Amino acid sequence: RDIDSDSIGECALELKPSAMAHLVDREVAGRVILQPAPGTDPSCKRVSYSFQSLAGLVSDSESGLGSHPGSFHRLVSDADAAASDEPLPRCRSASVSGLNDPFAALSPKRQGSYSPRSRVLVKSKTASMQPSPFTPLVPDNQEGLVVFDENFKTFHLKAGASQYSFCVDQYGSLEHLHFGNWVGTGHDLTFLSETDPALTFEPAPAGTQYSVGELLRMIEGEESVNPQQLWMLSTHMKDKRSGDWHMARVENLTWRLRNLWSRNSQEQEATVTAQQVLKVLEKSGVPLKRDDAEITGAAPDHTAPEHQTDQRGKPGRQGEKGSKLLEVSEFGTGDFRTPSLDVCFRKDGSRLLPLVYQHHRIIAGIVPSSSGLPLLGARNPEGAQTLVVDMIDTYTEMKVQLLYTVFPDISAISRRVVVRNSSRLGFSEVDLTKCMSGTFDFLTDDWHLVSLHGGWACERQITTRRLQEGTVHLGSNRGVSSHQMNPFCALTAGPPSEDHGHCYGFCLLYSGNWLMEVEQTTTGCVRVNAGLSNTHFSWDLGAQEAFESPECICVFSDKGLGGMTSTFHRLLSERLIAPRWHDLVCPVLINTWEALYFEVEHHKILELAKPAKHAGVELLVLDDGWFGRRNDDTTSLGDWKHDATKLPRGLPGLAEDLNAMGLKLGLWVEPEMVNKDSELYEKHPEWVLHHPSRLRSEGRNQLVLDLTRVAVQDYIIESVSRILESADIRYIKWDMNRALTDAYSAQLPAKQQGEVYHRYVLGLYRIFEVVTSKFPHVLFESCASGGGRFDAALLAWCPQAWCSDNSDSFSRTRIQMGTSMWAPVRCMGAHIAACPSHQTHRTHILKTRFIVALWGTFGLELDLTKVSQEDLAEIKELVALRQSLCQVTLHGNFFRLPGFGYPGASHANSAGIGESHVFAWMFVSPDQQRAVVSAIIFHRDTVGKFPSRLKLRGLRPELTYDVTEHVPTPVEQGVFNGIFQAGGPRFKHQRRLQLTGSVLMEVGLPVHFNFDGDSLLLELKVHAATPSRSDAALGHFGSTH
């Protein structure tokens, strides 16, 4: 092609136009030699580029990076360029709207340097570089959160104050080096693996990823071969495996092969058969390895070539892949730990997938999901950077893309995987049977595992264990994230501590079947795999199709579990929850369930609304029973039309009456389910998950709709939209009251039945995305028989979730302690419920129920028409108090408070780790000017013994705080043990305190409890006038309460 000489300086280029077009059009790997023109500066060197790289070059004068007129620099997406110390030129932000296949842009051909249909080989000075259609490379003026050190082939990701580093080893694997406090770039961290001892009898990787046999396998399915392309392919292999003596010999052989056919043929692009190539290779002087001999039938030659290098001189651990710390692990290639991926190639039944590094890109922002999965930064990508590392199986050309995203000032890494079937060798039919979002390997330490277990009405109980050799499996195969286990775990170096020690937290953004594998090997090293459950999972990955995993978050903290929790809370609040809800103060609501159950008649609802409004309630939520013929749980799910008998004026009339009283209307729905006794089921019995030839199992008298069907998704979207359009509804409680069974979709072919569970979740995410986008003013709360689907993923659409159907104060304290490990307080649905508790029949004072409900969104779930006037007046005062404290409790920094308790084995377990009957927590405003402190005792069986002092956290040591105690404890009047005790409200402290933050955190507060279920609520405010140093140290006592 004609190339403007100004755009290439004084460099002369000789290239047959048709040949270049042919090669670029077919993505052929090859090299172009750029030779300085005669008469130019002698210092100009001859340079070599691949065709793909050449397509994205810009000249010296444009980039300002060249040192002589004959050079070319700054490849747009070449790994070398992306890894260079200088920033890439003129990369800017790009819109992602309207993008149909964002992951298509992850392919190098779509990254800006090379397009198979483009004929622009060298850009002119005036031509502007086109950014990627989905997100740009890192711009010049942006801080580099991702750095590639070309000298040591090492990636460094700056995640807040932490650093995540890994390298490309001599075999092309990605070896993990460091995840911890920031140590800086420029260090040769590959020394970390050099001194590790070799393990006897452990297999080592092949000395090379390419061989003559490999080259033959690449052409064995072809009827004819272009010798020119064959030579270019081998040249590309040699370049990617620089220093590989064997591939250099193969490249030389194919060069001779090319010249031989060029001389014997009239046409330069003559083709030959694979058998002819085979014969030439057999007659060549290149010694064949064992796998080559198996193909050719030649006798193996065990003589080592004279140019073979000593593998012991190469950096990195000496071959034992099974003991390396890896970023991704595949089955059957020497790593016997649980793998990251499992595939099956139907062509030959092989499950081998040896992956080697191919190239990488560093991208500003995030790479959008191609399948609708929730992602951190999807709505707020500002400042984020994403590293995309391409791994490839050189035999089948199956590609695996590892995506790492980091955000400024947050010590967390998010990871996910894209598996792309780009095979051209008859391996187009692939079953993907396991796909972990991230593999995290750690060296030996005193590792302890923290996880969240439980069941219905006792979700997310904190469980700890010291790791031993073997594998711990955490997960759910119920189709939902489940009550039984939560998609979260943490590793701590040493016994779990709230305020010190290294800690790594893992949270999976997924609402279906999930798996976390925590394996400690005989070496003491630990691997954590997090991703989709591989039970009943198999994805039919067709040719040129891609599969993406959910996102996994890994948080590092050097300040124990408390530091990990703070990072999770900030990350999810800032980067996952929709920006329109960032400053949300959840409305005080009353739910009709425990007050009316199915008897939700118009007049009864208004009777409940009157005292609710008097108490300060802002929103009334109409729970189950308002639709169809729903008088019990056996009928009408799926028929989302109001019951005219119960609601003669319908939802619009109810909303009007509530609005006239100053209340908003909220609504309960369960759109994913259907009863057999319903109009929907009679019309579409095929719309439920079931095998048509088998009996079906039911749960709560209901069946699960097949959300893999687009028609079902559209029906739910239409039904919910019709409801929200019919009346002024400001809140939706989205429930889901049974797990998935009989997970068979009659619409999918047999080979795709392993996709049902995942496709169900993708369908659910599509429904949420459409509905919440259509009604952005409606607040959605997720629910699944309580906390059966309380996972991070749904926070992308539902900024709050119902913690549990159990609102008993004791039970809720443990549930919310566990939930707070990763979930922000503002997301935790918590209410003052009826007393005695409908779940445990325990009785608690109203103060204690209030304090626990304050630790969440806050609402009421009791029949206010049946409470006494005295209690109603107290509820009104408590609601008003909540309104004055909610900015701190909902948007402040949360701290669990350890070290508080009575003598005994459970002493100091007040932060939820281990057995305890005493718990304490607090909230601190972002500016540290205000704080709210809570504590509760379950069982006071230590009469006559004193508890330790309650030490606070998160305050500014130099500031003085006014300490105010709210809500006195009611004490009965009478004679106890022969001593008269005056009754009435009683505070823990009879004086108002003024104490510095240092005193409150280092000395603490004395707290004494009077009876089982007693509690404490304190508010701290910075004192207007700073006291003297002596007063600050000793504390100033003011007026009594």
Q: Name residues whose C-beta falls within 8 Å of residue 25's C-beta, 6 or more positions apart in sequence.
A: 116, 117
Cα distance between residue 379 and residue 387, in whole Å? 19
- Of the residues 244, 540, 623, 735, which is catalytic? 735
Decide if 140 is catalytic: no
DSSP class of residue 110 equals: G
The amino acid at 630: R
- Of the residues 335, 805, 808, 1014, which is catalytic? 805
Asked if residues 628 and 642 have their Cβ atoms less than 8 Å apart, the reply is no
Asked if residues 71 and 47 have their Cβ atoms less than 8 Å apart, the reply is yes
Asked if residues 936 and 809 have their Cβ atoms less than 8 Å apart, the reply is yes
Cα four-point dihedral sign 697, 698, 702, 705: negative
Distance of CA 822 to the CA centre of its chain: 12
Cα distance between residue 100 and residue 152, in whole Å? 37
The amino acid at 892: G
Provide the H-helix boundaries in 855-941: 869-891
First to last CA, the chain: 90
String of DSSP letters for 74-96: --SS-HHHHTSSSPPTT------
Cα distance between residue 655 and residue 663, in whole Å? 9
The three-state secondary structure class of 131 is coil
Asked if residues 376 and 366 have their Cβ atoms less than 8 Å apart, the reply is yes
Closest to 401 measured CA to CA, from 88, 103, 84, 77: 103
Structure tokens at 820: 């707070």
Cα distance between residue 248 and residue 474, in whole Å? 47
Cα distance between residue 807 and residue 459, in whole Å? 12
Cα distance between residue 644 and residue 277, in whole Å? 81
Closest to 87 measured CA to CA, from 32, 34, 129: 129
The three-state secondary structure class of 521 is coil
Structure tokens at 560: 């124990």
Q: Name residues whose C-beta falls within 8 Å of residue 533's C-beta, 6 or more positions apart in sequence.
A: 475, 476, 477, 513, 514, 515, 757
Cα distance between residue 822 and residue 127, in whole Å? 49
Residue 270 to residues 26, 227, 265, 755, Cα–Cα distance (Å): 17, 7, 6, 45
Residue found by looking up tokens 């016997």 in the block: 336
Decide if 4 is catalytic: no
Strand (E) or helix (H) holding 48:
strand 47-50
Cα distance between residue 952 and residue 998, in whole Å? 9
Cα distance between residue 288 and residue 300, in whole Å? 6
Q: Which residues are catalytic?
A: 735, 805
